Amino acid sequence: MKKQPLEDAVPTPQNFYFKLWRAKQAIGKVAKNSKNPHFKSSYADINAIIAEVEPVLLEHNLLLLQPIENGFVKTYIIDAETGENVCSEMKLPEILDPQKIGSAVTYFRRYTLQSLLSLQAVDDDANLSSEAVKTQGNLISDERFQKALEAIERGDAKKTDLAKFQLTEVQQAKLNEI
């Protein structure tokens, strides 16, 4: 009697998490293909991660999508047969500079995908994310902004008092109306 390989003897249910588990086993480590001169470190950029991960996911009938929805960068892995999915998401900072927001989108796509699949990661360009956090830290809540507007209208404050905050487009428009 011929011996059957162990892998062939193990039942292989085709549920979503089993497929994801099998895909994760096949992915392994992602090669670091980019350099961050500021931190003198290497990392895998988003293109290298997708090039390594997506073909394996597709082999297991799993689809990778990374849409931006309601101010969040989301990474979905979806079972093409059942529609079951998992998602990892990060809220985008409120930045008006298109280059900075593009950088944040790329950064968040990479990290949501790495997080979702528990890929080995390197803290390579934390300087970009910390800049976004600093920018977010200078935002003013709508409630506090409204109180500031009321104080300006009463003469208890000046428009220049709001200069230390990064205002949203809506807030800036309201400030310009005064």
Of the listed ranges 10-24, 38-52, 131-145, the least confidently predicted one is 131-145
pLDDT score at 133: 44
pLDDT score at 135: 46
Question: Over the stretch 37-90, which tens digit does the pLDDT of each residue have?
Answer: 656 666 668 888 898 899 999 999 999 999 999 999 999 999 999 999 999 999
Please tell me what DSSP assigns to residue 70: T
Question: Rounded to two decimals, what is the model's pTM?
Answer: 0.58
**Mean pLDDT rounded to a whole number for the chain:** 80
Q: What is the mean pLDDT of residues 146-160?
A: 86
Q: Is the pLDDT of residue 158 over 90?
A: no
pLDDT score at 165: 77
**Contact assessment for residue 104 and residue 95, using Cβ atoms and an 8 Å cutoff:** yes
More confident residue, 41 or 17: 17
b/e burial code for range 44-56 (CB count within 10 A of at least 16 → b) = bbbebbbebbeeb
Under the banding of pLDDT at 50, 70 and 90, the label for residue 35 is: low
Amino acid letter for position 90: M
Q: How many Å apart are CA 63 and CA 56, to the nearest integer?
A: 10
pLDDT score at 76: 98
Q: How many Å apart are CA 50 and CA 77, to the nearest integer?
A: 12
Of the listed ranges 30-39, 67-76, 122-131, 141-150, the least confidently predicted one is 122-131
What is the DSSP secondary-structure string of 91-131? EPP----HHHHHHHHHHHHHHHHHHHHT-------HHHHHH
